[in-house]
Amino acid sequence: MMDWELSWGMWLGLGTGGLLIVILIAMYLADVTQVTHAIRRNYPVIGRFRYLFENLGEYFRQYWFAHDRQEMPFNRATRAWVYRTSKGLGGLLGFGSTNDLREPGSIIFVSASYPLLEEEYTDTPSVIIGPGCDKPFEARSVFNISGMSYGALSKPAVRALSRGAATAGVWLNTGEGGLSPYHLEGACDRIYQIGTAKYGVRDARGSLSETRLREVAEQVNAFEIKLSQGAKPGRGGVLPAAKVTDEIAAIRGIVPGLVSSSPNRHREITDADDLLDMVNRVRDITGRPVGIKTVLGSEEFPRLLCETILRRGEDQAPDFITVDGGEGGTGAAPQLLADHVGLPITESLPVMVDTLMAYGLRNRIKLVASGKMVHSARVAWALCIGADFVVSGRGFMFALGCVQSLQCHKDSCPTGITTQNRRLQKGLVVEDKAERVAQYAYWVNHEVNVLAHSCGLPNAREFRREHIRVVQSPGKSQPLNVLYPYPVSKYTHQAS
């Protein structure tokens, strides 16, 4: 019996070894005969490890080799802070910070010598968007969820965002992919984004449908006309064919199984007059506040827009403007545009705020800041510059469990957030992630007030530029109001 078992084991070993040899020979022949990869041709079989290591490199750097504050687009310290916050574990640390306050661009809040007592704090007041509209929007939260479409995100991800937004009292922007049943699930405040393809509010020819606008208006609080976004200015939205399911195609009004690609701009908008025509058309049809979302390339766009508004009358102005920085994210974008087009939010937000102030329109138009704004300190910085609200997309993705695997465009997201693969979606438990979304939103809004209190302010709405300094060189910082002095308006109706 033992001899038979030994003989069988020997033959099994020989068979396995023989199979391995055959595989290696096949790989060798394939490598030396292919003409695409020089390394595999010169170093057959072993040269394949180069591509394996290249693919694994980003994962090893993320967990082992990169410093806590080195990685891009978001470093480990930032991601870990969001993870802890979304789990309700707080942002406490021990011993000392790893944030280098000598690094140029670092922000330092001006602490008050005599901060307020807790009983002197006040609640952060809500802000009315579009007070002159038939149905104005009372926005309760400073920090809200940026536009992310159903399609770019999975069904459970949208469901969790909707539920979490309702719990935390923040708004949810639908993104340009239309209004799905999952956006409605949480009964939260909603801003409907009208992209260049007009998904969800288009007629059979792809033009804006008044009927669909009226229907959607019953379920949202405001509309946002998207001109461009930070990750790909000058390029319309792209949803890979693998993500265009029958349901997503029906919601958008397109053909399933084909790439969903939006035009580079709205066909009917070629200048500021056209833009205001569309803003007022949507507002007249729906009775809801209407804003725009754009990425600045220079001071020209806000200047021409303000001049056109004053020529036509302030009632023609958009009710809000979302300024997206060139560092913004997306599910799929050409690297060239993501790397090199559009001003970062640190430059574009002051430009927009100052232009509106110079033309006396700052009170008329509310401002929303967007672009890598995932941390309380960055939110407070935007308020100091002059924003009314801040929105984040990737911050809330981290709250959902995103691990920054950089696979949003491949339909292979390992956490089930940006994929339509149902097997991968099973990893995202809606009830648990909705609670994390709510916790993250709550704590960011709370910590922005903590920063305000440290500056001697009763709430975050009182932030001004003099409450923050920006490091220019090691050991040298300057107040924000020195770097960006408040402009003097030529118009008597300008408010501070």
Residues 17 and 128 in one domain: no
Instruction: Name all contacts of 131-138 with Cβ < 8 Å and 24+ positions apart.
Output: 132/315, 133/283, 133/287, 133/288, 133/289, 133/319, 134/287, 134/288, 135/217, 135/286, 135/287, 135/288, 135/289, 136/289, 137/189, 137/221, 137/222, 137/288, 137/289
Residues 31 and 174 in one domain: no
Residues 240 and 313 in one domain: yes
Residue 494: strand pairing partners: none
Phi-psi region of 476 (alpha: psi -120 to 50; beta: other; left: phi over 0): beta
Q: What tens digit of pLDDT does each residue of 354-364 get? A: 999 999 999 99
Written as six digits, the tokens of 381 are 């910085």
293, 322 in Cβ contact below 8 A?
A: yes
Q: Domain ends where: 33, 49, 65?
A: 65
Task: State which residues form the domain around 326.
Answer: 120-483
* pLDDT of the residue at 67: 57
SS (H, E, C) 287-330: CCCEEEEECCCCCHHHHHHHHHHHHHCHHHCCCEEEEECCCCCC
Q: Domain ends where: 47, 65, 83?
A: 65
Residues near 321 by Cβ (< 8 Å), separated by ≥ 6?
Answer: 291, 292, 293, 294, 352, 365, 366, 367, 368
Q: In the chain, how many H helices and how many E strands?
A: 17, 15
Residues 139 and 43 in one domain: no
Residues 134 and 257 in one domain: yes
The DSSP element (H or E) to which 453 belongs, if any, is: helix 430-454
Which whole-number Å values give the CA distances from 276 to 228, 317, 319, in the listed order? Answer: 16, 7, 11
Phi-psi region of 24 (alpha: psi -120 to 50; beta: other; left: phi over 0): alpha
DSSP string, 228-289: --TTSTTS--EE-GGG--HHHHHHHTS-TTS-EE--SS-TT-SSHHHHHHHHHHHHHHH-S-
Residue 138 lies in a domain: yes
* pLDDT of the residue at 18: 73
Residues 253 and 381 in one domain: yes
Residue 447 lies in a domain: yes
Residues 58 and 126 in one domain: no
Output the pTM of the full model: 0.84
Residue 78 lies in a domain: no
Closest CA to 172 of 188, 150, 193: 188
pLDDT tens for the chain, 496 residues: list them.
Answer: 455 455 655 555 556 777 888 888 888 898 888 877 667 777 788 877 766 666 655 555 555 555 555 565 666 677 777 778 888 887 666 566 777 777 888 899 999 999 899 999 999 999 999 999 999 999 999 999 999 999 888 999 999 999 999 999 999 999 998 999 999 999 999 999 999 999 999 988 889 999 999 999 999 999 999 998 766 676 777 777 877 888 888 888 888 888 878 888 899 999 999 999 999 999 999 999 999 999 999 999 999 999 999 999 999 999 999 999 877 666 666 666 666 777 899 999 999 999 999 999 999 999 999 988 889 999 999 999 999 999 998 889 889 988 777 777 777 788 888 888 888 888 888 998 999 999 999 999 999 999 999 999 999 999 999 999 999 998 899 999 999 999 987 775 544 3
Residue 80 lies in a domain: no
Residues 194 and 290 in one domain: yes
Residues 26 and 162 in one domain: no
Q: What is the residue whose two structure tokens read 């330092």?
A: 108
Residue 495 lies in a domain: no
Residue 165 lies in a domain: yes
Written as six digits, the tokens of 17 are 């070894």
Backbone torsions φ then ψ of 109, nearest 5 degrees: -80, 145
Residues 51 and 146 in one domain: no
Domain of 400: which CATH number?
3.20.20.70
* pLDDT of the residue at 32: 84
Q: What is the DSSP letter of 466?
A: G
Residue 76 lies in a domain: no
Written as six digits, the tokens of 244 are 């265009």
Q: What tens digit of pLDDT does each residue of 172-219 get? A: 999 998 999 999 999 999 999 999 999 999 988 889 999 999 999 999
DSSP-based helix, strand, coil % in the chain, nearest 5: 45, 15, 45
* pLDDT of the residue at 427: 81
Which whole-number Å values give the CA distances from 109 to 48, 55, 182, 488, in the listed order? Answer: 51, 40, 39, 25
* pLDDT of the residue at 345: 92
* pLDDT of the residue at 196: 92
Residue 385 lies in a domain: yes
Query: How many residues make up the chain in this entry?
Result: 496
468, 107 in Cβ contact below 8 A?
A: yes
Residues 136 and 55 in one domain: no
Identity at 425, one-letter amino acid code: Q
Number of folded domains that form the chain: 2
Residues near 295 by Cβ (< 8 Å), separated by ≥ 6?
Answer: 227, 228, 229, 230, 233, 323, 324, 325, 326, 328, 341, 342, 343, 348
345-358 helix and 300-312 helix, angle to the nearest 10 degrees: 30
Residues 36 and 145 in one domain: no
